[in-house]
Amino acid sequence: MLALLKKWMFAALLMLAASASAYSAPKTVLVLGDSLSAEYGLARGSGWVALLEQKLKTEKIDAKVVNASISGETTSGGRTRLPGLLSQYHPDVVVIELGANDGLRGLPVSAAEDNLRSMIWQAQQNKAKVLLIGMRMPPNYGRAYTERFYGMYKELSTQLKTPLVPFMLEGVAQDASMFQGDRMHPLAAAHPVILNNIWPKLSELIKTR
């Protein structure tokens, strides 16, 4: 009886150790974005993704960030690259910040929506949680297009049950002094604001086991 009890206690300790190990295992956050996440025109380490890495350290959250963002990236390009990234990094959380270049080129919203839906689905199938980052188009693209484009993100968030940051440039887009000379890419001073827009939803996903 004593031997049996010892075996049971040993097995229980092993299970607790395995559970603790799984809980403390570092998470991987994959950011799939365009120039807004790729530090276009900025000194290295000053974009919101780099600030996110600093934030995680400050908060003592054991997670590593893989920034797979490319300037000029479209939803089509992201859709093509994502399978390889999922296979290589096995992320726990995937942040999808794409669509701006589709909109600026006036590409069909339906095509961008289909690409984003595919990316979200791919990530979810690989057991990753997804955070979708929304964007707005300038009013000169016409009311119908801008409203349909902006609404696309909310529709996907609702349909696929994935958290959404409605507009990553909230608090930035309205201030021309926060942008580089091209009036499209934020200055380094704007990136803490961008991170503050993203962090609440992203931190929930990272902290969730």
> What residues act catalytically?
35, 182, 185
Q: Say if residues 93 and 126 touch (Cβ distance below 8 Å).
A: no
Q: How many CB atoms lie within 10 A of CB 110?
A: 10
Degrees, nearest 5: CA angle 165-76-70? 70
d(C-alpha 188, C-alpha 55), whole Å: 16
Contacts of 89 (CB under 8 A, 6+ apart): 28, 30, 66
DSSP-derived letter for residue 26 is P
Q: Say if residues 156 and 178 touch (Cβ distance below 8 Å).
A: no
Residue with tokens 């979200």: 120
Q: Say if residues 141 and 150 touch (Cβ distance below 8 Å).
A: no
d(C-alpha 123, C-alpha 9), whole Å: 39
d(C-alpha 133, C-alpha 154), whole Å: 10
